[in-house]
Chains A and B, each alone.
Chain A
């Protein structure tokens, strides 16, 4: 079974530029999560999708961050414009939901904003 795929793995941009991250969850997983992990901290949930509907985006900075999950499969997370404090690892995870609570994580995208 293929795991959660994310791309790119690394990205360096200047502040005020825009960036997009892509995630492909495990096949059949209805729930998809985007987390932000700042160095030295635990992951913080940004947004959670159930199929293509948003369950929780209470911690998503909506003035600059946006996310979508078209057709309930792949998802993209966008930052526009980026700030220095957005430097972090962005983790995507998916879970089946009904069969198991376990969340399976992708390798993450390390973003550096200069």
Chain B
């Protein structure tokens, strides 16, 4: 089974509008975390936001917020007031711990976001 599922290969949004990028996950580990990364066409991976499985409140970082629904195993990214510079590939990733210590990151297949005027 896929550990991280991003069902939207591509999304369009009008500038200044909000957009939600979907992410569902699968794990039996009680301690885990969800990341969102942005990858522009230049290729670098840019960290956006992190939510731990025990965090009580949804994470927010500026225009980014994470809609974490633990029972549904979903961790959707909400981008408010979209800007042209938000056009990029967005990856959801899950952190799981190794038994011997350390953490493993598993990425989804990504969603290509295009912001239009």
Contact = CB atoms under 8 A, between A and B. Distances in A.
Contacts, number: 61
Interface string B40-52: 0011111100101
A33 B4 CA distance: 19
B45 A43 contact: yes
B30 interface: no
Main SS of chain A's interface residues?
Answer: strand
Interface residues of B, number: 27
A2 to B, nearest CB: 14
Interface stretch (A21-29, A70-78, A101-109): A101-109
B91 interface: yes
Contacts of B104: 45, 48, 56
B107 A110 contact: no
Interface residues of A, number: 26
Contacts of A43: 45, 91, 107
A41 B102 contact: no
Interface string A66-110: 000000000000000000000001010101010001111111101
Interface of A: 31, 33, 40-45, 48, 50, 55-56, 89, 91, 93, 95, 97, 101-108, 110
24 contacts: A31-B102, A41-B109, A41-B110, A42-B91, A43-B45, A43-B107, A44-B107, A50-B102, A55-B100, A55-B102, A56-B98, A56-B102, A89-B43, A91-B45, A97-B102, A101-B50, A101-B52, A101-B95, A102-B35, A102-B50, A103-B47, A103-B105, A107-B42, A107-B43
Interface of B: 4, 33, 35, 37, 42-47, 50, 52, 91, 93, 95, 98, 100-110
